Amino acid sequence: MRLPFFTRIFIAIFFISVCSDSIAQQKTNAVSIAPKMSWFQDAKLGIFIHWGIYAVDGVDESWAFYNKKMSWEAYMKQLNGFTASKYNPTDWVNLIKASGAKYAVLTTKHHDGVALWNTKQAHYSTVKNTPAKRDLLTPFYQELKKQNIKAGAYFSLIDWSHPDYPAFMKDSIRYAIKDQPERWQRFRNFYQSQLNEVADQFQPDLFWFDGDWEHSAEEWESEKVRANLLTKNPGAIINGRLMGYGDYDTPEQNVPVSRPKYNWWELCMTINNNWGYQHKDTNWKTPSQIIALFADVVSHGGNLLLDIGPKEDGTIPKEQRELLLELGQWNKKHERAIFGSLAGIPQGHFYGPTTISKDSTKLYLFLQGQTAGQIMVKGLDNAIQSIKVVGSEKQLQHKVVGKISWSPVPGLVYIDVPQGVQDKYMTVLELQLTKPVKLYSGRGGFE
């Protein structure tokens, strides 16, 4: 049915008004939270840790029973095999620090409902229900703080094992909220009590929520949750999975082709194909792949939250350790181009990732592969004081081609990259400019 003309006009005006209010609100929020987000913006790299009973049989964390790959009863029998017998939180944090990461996020509780701390609630935990018989979070968070690494707490809003949670498996539910609202309120009281325990006992710098898709912000009481956490710790950062009440975006696995719209964002990515440890998953990403991905993320102003999955006994597989150490060596060599940097210049000016120093007088170019020969930068309306290879500090030569004295169009910058200066994974060049980066993005000619 086609609506009358004036009705359509009214709807359009209303829609524009709502969108404008939303954009204005987002900008206001961005200004108000900018101070607490500064460390997050500078951090660039975090380590995600999925650790739970799912590592015993090496199955999909929580999803294995939800998607009916196995029964819930068989899944929960893994409680009997979770020992944490070789768990060494100091070793974990030493490895995280060696990778160059500035923060770490550990699963306090996944969708299966098994808490890794001594929860006071009548529900599953590693203390009460596994041979580990201990709180696994406290020593880890203590070690993070000791080594000056920001502490993040993953917390699943959903709990498919809890008798008062509506959903159970993909094709079955326990009840409908509209039919038993008092039961849903019992669950909300339960999960918020557990969340308060995490906030009070561990005082995380960052809360990493998951599972918000199953209910609305009103049903989750998202506004109340956010207010409560920030009352406890005004500086706490909340990820973007609280139905609109988070501080930053969290795309998963798929690398954004263009920069996400919001001010801060983080890509969470597995180190192989799965979040938790799985015996049969040997499809490890290579250091070269991770570094290229990391450079791409940083170039777009984001962070990489790289996931590892320890075994049930608490040991970290050697493939994961080796990759983090290789990443750490590359990070140490190129740290000034990464940590504390700003998003790079727009695509089209250079064919590869870039970053900019905070004062905007240094432009960093990340060269894919074993690049040698000439590379080109377009539209750079700056005089270049020097060009050096980050790490070796070798000086490189450049020339400007096509600059016409009377034209506002800058010439093309060609940089000679000789053999022998390449990093084995990704080479980074530092262009020292005489003034902050200024770009020409016109069409050329007589504009």
H or E stretch covering 66: helix 63-66
Residue partners of 160: CB distance under 8 A and separation at least 6: 62, 65, 66, 111, 112, 113, 167, 168, 169
User: Is residue 192 domain-resident?
Assistant: yes
Co-location of 73 and 197 in the same domain: yes
Quote the pLDDT of residue 447. 54
pTM of the model: 0.92
Domain count, the chain: 3
Q: Tell me, what CATH number does 248's domain have?
A: 3.20.20.80
- Write out pLDDT tens, residues 116-139: 999 999 999 999 999 999 999 999
Mean per-residue pLDDT pooled into runs of 10, the chain (447 residues): 39 38 50 96 98 98 98 98 98 98 98 98 98 98 98 98 97 97 98 98 98 98 98 97 96 85 94 97 97 96 98 98 98 98 95 97 92 91 97 96 86 95 96 97 71
User: Is residue 444 domain-resident?
Assistant: no
**Tokens encoding 63:** 């999803």
Contact 338, 355 (CB under 8 A): yes
Co-location of 33 and 49 in the same domain: no
Co-location of 9 and 150 in the same domain: no
User: Is residue 210 domain-resident?
Assistant: yes
User: Is residue 446 domain-resident?
Assistant: no
Phi, then psi, of 187 in degrees rounded to 5: -70, -40
The percentage of the chain sitting over the pLDDT mark of 90, rounded to a whole number, equals 86
How distant, in Å, are the alpha carbons of 7, 13, 15, 16 from that of 4?
Answer: 5, 14, 17, 19
Quote the pLDDT of residue 445. 63
H or E stretch covering 302: none
**Tokens encoding 169:** 């498996």
The CA distance from 379 to 359, in Å, is 20
The greatest distance separating any two alpha carbons of the chain, rounded to the nearest whole angstrom, comes to 78
Co-location of 51 and 122 in the same domain: yes
User: Where does 282-397 show beta strands of DSSP type E?
Assistant: 303-308, 342-343, 354-356, 362-368, 373-377, 384-389
Co-location of 208 and 181 in the same domain: yes
Domain residues for the domain of 368 are 342-433
Co-location of 79 and 224 in the same domain: yes
The CA distance from 133 to 82, in Å, is 9
**Tokens encoding 359:** 């004062």
Co-location of 48 and 33 in the same domain: no
Co-location of 107 and 197 in the same domain: yes
User: Is residue 447 domain-resident?
Assistant: no
Quote the pLDDT of residue 425. 96
How distant, in Å, are the alpha carbons of 166, 216, 409 from that of 177?
Answer: 7, 12, 63
Name the residue among 207, 276, 262, 198 with its Cα closest to residue 235.
207
Beta bridge partners of 248: 239
The CA distance from 256 to 188, in Å, is 34
